[in-house]
Amino acid sequence: MQPEIHLNWLAIAASVIASFAIGSLWYGPLFGKAWARAVGFGEGMKPAPAEIVKGSALNLLGTLLMAYVLIHQMEVWRPSSWQAGADGPPAQYGLPAAFFNWVGFIVPMLLNGVAFERKSWKAFAINGAFQLVSLLLMAMILASWR
């Protein structure tokens, strides 16, 4: 027996938009200058418009894939997906899924950047904290909006 996975494409889109909104705040007014210093961007260094478009497109694709996988991981734990009873509250599925995806996949990838790419611990902390906040927000949107 396979679980019945409910994909709400509007929820997926909303979670991606929410992640982009948090990212624009996170890497803008909240931690933008500290992050730029941590990754070695000089004062006033701005990417070319083509780089911004390419980076945004790749980020969009990656965030969409993350939301798609995240919703599958949450749905497989819902009893209703297996026709085995009623579901619990959304936080029961969203928060653990976000946290365990972060600690199991995001943190190790960011640690590789520190270990092999000479990224700073400050960049690790800024990027890691953003990914956790973003995943938590995305997961709660996906878990709540079925």
Q: Which residue segment(s) compose the domain that 73 sits in? A: 9-144
Considering the domain boundaries, does residue 97 fall inside one? Answer: yes
**8 vs 68: CA distance, rounded Å:** 10
Considering the domain boundaries, does residue 56 fall inside one? Answer: yes
pLDDT value, residue 118? 92
Considering the domain boundaries, does residue 3 fall inside one? Answer: no
Number of domains in the chain: 1
pLDDT value, residue 44? 79
CA distances (Å), origin 123, targets 13, 23, 109, 113, 117: 28, 14, 13, 9, 12
With contact defined as beta carbons under 8 Å apart, do 97 and 139 qualify?
yes
pLDDT value, residue 67? 97
pLDDT value, residue 23? 97
Q: If the chain, 146 residues long, is cut into consecutive pieces of 10 residues, what is the mean pLDDT of each piece?
A: 90 98 97 94 85 95 97 91 92 94 97 95 98 98 94
Burial, 131: exposed, middle or buried (Cβ in 10 Å; 0-12, 13-18, 19+)?
A: buried
With contact defined as beta carbons under 8 Å apart, do 142 and 11 qualify?
yes
Considering the domain boundaries, does residue 111 fall inside one? Answer: yes
**92 vs 74: CA distance, rounded Å:** 9
Residues 6+ apart with CB under 8 A from 42: none
pLDDT value, residue 1? 77
**57 vs 135: CA distance, rounded Å:** 19
Considering the domain boundaries, does residue 4 fall inside one? Answer: no
Global pTM? Answer: 0.92
Considering the domain boundaries, does residue 2 fall inside one? Answer: no
With contact defined as beta carbons under 8 Å apart, do 121 and 114 qualify?
yes
Considering the domain boundaries, does residue 42 fall inside one? Answer: yes
Considering the domain boundaries, does residue 1 fall inside one? Answer: no
